[in-house]
Amino acid sequence: MLVTVQDRLSDEQVESFHADGFLIVEEGFISDAAIELLRQRFDALFAGEYETGIAPDEVNWKEGRDPEDRTRQICNGWRADDRIAAQVLSERTGRLAAQLMGYRGTRMLQDNCLWKPPGAKSLGMHQDGSFAGYLVPPEMITCWVALDDTRAQGGTIEYVRGSHRWPKAPPSRGEFHAPDDWVAPAREAAPDGEELDLVPVVVRAGGCTFHHSLTFHGSGPNEATTHRRSIVSHLIPVETRFHPDNVDLVYSRYRRRGDLSLDESFFPVLWDETGARSAWLAELPSLP
């Protein structure tokens, strides 16, 4: 059965998310015209052309600096490009994420722009929530949107079904890009007697997934002849605050002295139960 999504998820889709730790939407989450536009913005972004004049928070691949067989990753590309922002900060994404998690609202924590060309190596298995200790509560939900058709051997994202019920693994800043064994972190974290049920995400361009912050996920090498690009929103509960003691090497730079709140200039509200959004989001262009 073809799985799509409208303005609200069905009860069956929500139940599937809670059972598996993820929900796969096979096609139609964004339009073909939006896909083409976002691919163009990826070209500019990874060439270091920042429309807003502001660099992303993390640029983990640069042409000429990094190996060609590494996955290209940029974090918070939305700061550099308003069309990237229009996608990752969309009201619908925030509302559907809130529905899945039972949040009264969602705000942006961080985006990822991921580009895995043919021959690119793997990204290691991990839980997003392992890196959220600088937040209260230390959790999130992620929306991953495919900009290319995906296939099982094409370096697509893969989930470990049911792993959101496992304990949270300690954070690791170790071998994430091109590890020798990209599944090892999930295997090592699995409770005794638990077999890994790996689910590769095979969707059309414009399809998406939502996953829980404790769901183990990663991606193998791209053994296909096609590119695999995706754009990702990591969203947190609207009431999230900074932890009074724990800090993140990059994102705690946005914490004001003596104030644990998250500034909406940097962590905008995508949707809350009143229908409100951060006011400045109205200035963003609309995607087709």
Assess whether pLDDT exceeds 60 at residue 3.
no
Residue 165 phi, psi (nearest 5): -90, -5
Domain 11-279 top-level CATH class: mainly beta
Rounded to whole angstroms, the maximal C-alpha distance in the chain is 52
32: number of CA atoms within 13 Å, CB side? 0
**Residue 259 forms beta bridges with which residues?**
256
> Are the beta carbons of 78 and 85 closer than 8 angstroms?
yes
H-run or E-run covering 209? strand 208-212
H-run or E-run covering 160? strand 157-160
Give the Cβ contact number of residue 12 at 10 Å: 9
Pick 180 or 199 by higher pLDDT. Answer: 199
pTM, entire model: 0.94
- pLDDT classification of 266: cutoffs 50, 70, 90: very high
Omega before residue 137 within 30° of 0, cis: yes
Q: Give me the percent of the chain exceeding a pLDDT of 90.
A: 89
pLDDT digits (tens, 9 = 90+) for 223-261: 999 999 999 999 999 999 999 999 999 999 999 999 999
Quote the CA–CA distance of 22 and 159 in Å, as a whole number: 8
Quote the CA–CA distance of 230 and 205 in Å, as a whole number: 9
Q: Give me the percent of the chain exceeding a pLDDT of 70.
A: 97
Assess whether pLDDT exceeds 80 at residue 152.
yes
Q: Which two tokens stand for residue 261?
A: 């709140």
